Amino acid sequence: MEGAEENPAESSSSAPRSEEPAGSAKGREVLPPEEPEGCARPLETTPKKLCGYLSKFGGKGPIRGWKSRWFFYDERKCHLYYSRTAQDANPLDSIDVSTAVFDCKANAEEGTFEIKTPSRIITLKAATKQAMLYWLQQLQMKRWEFHNSPPAPPATPDAALAGNGPALRLELEQEEAELEEFLCPVKTPPGLVGLAAASQPVPAMPLALQNISLKHLGTEIQNTMHNIRSNKQTQGTGHTPPGEDSPLSEEPQREEQPSSPDPGTPGKDSADSLKPPKSFLSTNLIQKAKLQSSTFPLFTEGLIRNRTAQEKVLALEQQVLMLTKELTAQKELVKILHKALEAAQQEKRVSSMYLAAAEDKDRLELVRHKVRQIAELGRRVEALEQERESLVQTASLREQQVQELQQHVQLLMDKNQAKQQVICKLSEKVTQDFMRPLATPDAANRDFLSQQEKMEHLKDDMEAYRTQNRFLNSEIHQVTKIWRKVAEKERALLMKCAYLQAKNCQVESKYLAGLRRLQEAIGGEASECSELLRQLIQEALQWEAGDSSADSVVLSPISEYDEYGFLTVPNYEVEDLKLLAKIQALEVHSHHLLAHEAVERPLRERWAALGELAPSAELKQLLRAGVPHEHRPHIWRWLVRFRVQHLQAPGRYQELLSRSQACKHPAARQIELDLNRTFPNNKHFTCPTSSFPDKLRRVLLAFSWQNPTIGYCQGLNRLAAIALLVLDEEESAFWCLVAIVEVIMPADYYSKTLLASQVDQRVLQDLLSEKLPRLMAHLGQHRVDLSFITFNWFLVVFADSLISNILFQVWDAFLYEGTKVVFRYALAIFKYNEEAILRLQDGLEIYQYLRFFTKTICNSQKLMNIAFNDMNPFPMKQLWQLRTAHRERLEAELHELEQFKAEYLETRTCQGPAVPESCTSEDEGDLEA
């Protein structure tokens, strides 16, 4: 108080503060020391319980209608529980808020809203519209908090709140900022929600039976018995009023009460500490309000003081500005006076010099100087007089203009006054017209009043629809955010499932490989082990992942056919090959699942962002990595057009088809024979109802007339079939075959002598000796000729050798880069299986392994890296040089062979047909018989 007297300027602000110590001291006497720490937090940071009474529409038959229920939200489970009263021990049922959406109807009864879950729709009604919006907004916030932080709450709530408080507060602030864009935050309706609503009486219903839930009759009986026992205990102890000792009502009270009794008040009963300290809460709230009013300038006195200080500051700033301007003017005046003083002093010095001169001539010069100055000053005076006269004239003109303006203003004021009088008269008339229908109502006035009522109703409806629209927008926003979060979780789970399924395929393939090795080790011994092994192999071949259990999740099962119709697991007759085919299918599926997210998804995104196709390094890299299934037809059509644009002519294919129908080509018989042997493991060429065989026949016949020098060669049927599987159009497949035979492959590749094909086999031998010398030495030691295996590779571009997903990846690069890709992949195939071949020590065993070893290659990514990275450098110039050298040697050998053949025929002709006398021909024997 002494400080207040010494500083009277702060007397107004110190008055309310002087009451705080007393209040705080009382608070310390009533509550234990732990309570002020919790009370020191702002009210906004204290977590609020979402609970209150709502009316729920339900029931069956005659008791169907609104029932009063006590609703309370459980943050751990994100469930909204409800019971008949706040004092019930067991809830009747719950609503899963995490999967629910909320809706409010504009044309429904006031305060009515719906909670829609996947299993049911719950219709609720709040007491007021504000309470309804508060419930909807809070449920939206709770649902988002649950989805944003799914882990279970820790054992110590205080520590969890202290650790996660800033992050959670930041998220809530962001959420509130987003909600304000759609629907402003609704204030808490006093007395209708929260802990204060628990002390309110239960809303009365017309019938007592109407509020009882017959569906949950057992729970109703348990709650009734619990309430009876609690009432008896309350009456016996007399410490708490009835209805305040239920678990549901005690739980929020315990959170506000101290955890231990005050050691400074030993004489009080422990039961008193369980009472809700209403007096202290009210005192504490008053103190906080006073503290806020004294600390923050948010109340009237603070605003007045704030405004007065601001006005003083503005006045002082204006005074400073005026003084600054005046000081500047004074400085300018001082400068002018200084200049005048200097001129006067200079004139004085000159005059004194003239006066001090001894001769009259100098004095006469001074007089002349003064006369000149007087004349100049006279001229200046005349100019100033003229300027003054012009200013007087201007002023008189301005005065005349001002008088005219004043007269004009007076006229306007008179006109305005006249208009006001007219307006007053009209308003009086309108008022009389409005008052007259009250005395003498007629049909027109009643219609006018009804229209007014309708307009009021329409305004109310517009406001209701506007509120509904804002809430529904916020609900759509919230549900979209939750959907995106769930979609991200689902994507992560699918990736995890794909990884686990890939590992399962790997384990199963290792299991089958182990069974195969055991079978080879045991051999054909007639024992129990061999019989058991045979049964295990049969079960492994017949088992499918989707049939293992009804509850198993099959993310990407192994289908019987791939997207191009090839058998995923070829149906071999030999048991060993069946087992190897199943192992291969599992390995392929495993690699596909593991590479889907890491390789295929980024590759698809790069293809989608490629834009217009043009030859480039980027396109080359993408084609080497493989074209996605959905983009492959479009890419192949562009590659074919790029290759045959100088040969392609409109209507050329139809012309060739007409020629093949009009005249039968000599190669037609061989084409018919090879149609049934084209890809026996592809459903498009084996199904009797498929149209692919007819398309393939027409493509091959058209090509036989397009290139008569070749006509038809074995292998062309498989090249055309691959083109048909991808492009699906006869004409596109025809031009693809033309591009391969006439543009990409060297000349004479498919001629009768297959000269260029034989040359490439010798080139491959040289490249293998250069790139894989250890393997070639091993094969040379066992006298293995690789051309028996590799000749067909080059003739049909691996169409019969590689599995389908690797085959089409090879063709993607082959159609763009040419035959160099075939050499690269041929070398990569041997490098891929080099160690397995080196382990074989018998020529026949090596031939048997080379017959099917390409089908065991499952990792397309590894094979592609070997082909385009490990086989470098691979210059095209070297390939041309090797082809030229081997072509010259081969032509010389063929020429020498032709000479030997001609000499033999000439010798045979000279000798003539010599038949022994003792031998008879078959014709003679027949005649004799």
Say what the pTM is.
0.49
**CA dist., res. 642 & res. 637, Å (int):** 8
| d(C-alpha 171, C-alpha 742), whole Å | 67
Is pLDDT at 734 greater than 90 in this prediction?
yes
**276 pLDDT more than 70:** no
Give the pLDDT confidence of 455-485 residue by residue, as tens digits. Answer: 888 888 888 888 888 888 888 888 888 888 8
Band (pLDDT 50/70/90 cuts) for residue 543 is: low
| CA 592 from centre of chain | 24
Q: What's the confidence (pLDDT) of residue 584? A: 62
Q: Give the DSSP H or E segment for 515.
A: helix 443-522
Give one DSSP letter per residue of 314-363, joined into a string.
Answer: HHHHHHHHHHHHHHHHHHHHHHHHHHHHHHHHHHHHHHHHHHT-SSHHHH
- pLDDT of 926 > 90? The answer is no
Peptide bond into 650 cis (omega under 30): no
pLDDT reported for residue 530:
65
Burial class (CB in 10 A: 0-12, 13-18, 19+), 832: buried
What gap in Å lies between CA 231 and CA 306, rounded to an integer? 56
840: Cα separation from own chain's centroid: 52
Task: Please say if the pLDDT value at position 528 is more than 90.
Answer: no
Task: Give the pLDDT of residue 427.
Answer: 86
Q: What is the Cα–Cα distance from 857 to 252, expressed in whole angstroms?
A: 68
Predicted local confidence at residue 914, as pLDDT: 53
For residue 131, what pLDDT is reported?
87
623: which strand partners?
Answer: none
Asked whether the beta carbons of 665 and 705 are under 8 A apart, the reply is yes
Q: Which of 264-278, 484-498, 691-705, 762-776 has the lowest mean pLDDT?
A: 264-278
Helix (H, G, I), strand (E, B) or coil at 193: strand
Strands 65-74 and 79-83: antiparallel
* pLDDT score for 166: 56
Please tell me the least confidently modeled range out of 404-408, 468-472, 497-501, 584-588.
584-588
Highest mean pLDDT among 82-96, 250-264, 270-284, 429-443: 82-96
Residues 614 and 520: beta-carbon distance below 8 Å? no
Is residue 340 very low, low, confident or very high in pLDDT (cuts 50, 70, 90)?
A: confident
Condensed to tens digits (0 to 9), the pLDDT of residues 881-895 reads 999 999 999 999 988
**Structure-block tokens of residue 514:** 């182990």
With contact defined as beta carbons under 8 Å apart, do 53 and 197 qualify?
Answer: yes
| 454 — pLDDT class (breaks 50, 70, 90) | confident
pLDDT at 780 over 50: yes
Contact by Cβ (8 Å): 224, 208: no
Confidence check: pLDDT of 110 > 80: yes
Q: According to the model, what pLDDT value does residue 884 have?
A: 93
Structure confidence at residue 278 (pLDDT): 40
Mean pLDDT to the nearest integer, 22-31: 37
**Tens of pLDDT along 855-877?**
878 788 889 999 999 888 888 88
Residue 295 has pLDDT above 60, yes or no: no
In this structure, are residues 78 and 139 in contact, taking their beta carbons and an 8 Å threshold?
no
Residues forming beta bridges with residue 561, ordered by sequence position: 567
Nearest alpha-carbon partner for 894 in 793, 755, 762, 694: 755
More confident residue, 310 or 742: 742
The average pLDDT across 664-691 equals: 88
Bigger pLDDT: 173 vs 825: 825
Average predicted confidence (pLDDT) for the chain: 75
pLDDT digits (tens, 9 = 90+) for 196-212: 777 777 776 655 556 66
pLDDT tens, position by position, 574-607 = 455 566 666 666 666 665 555 555 566 777 788 8
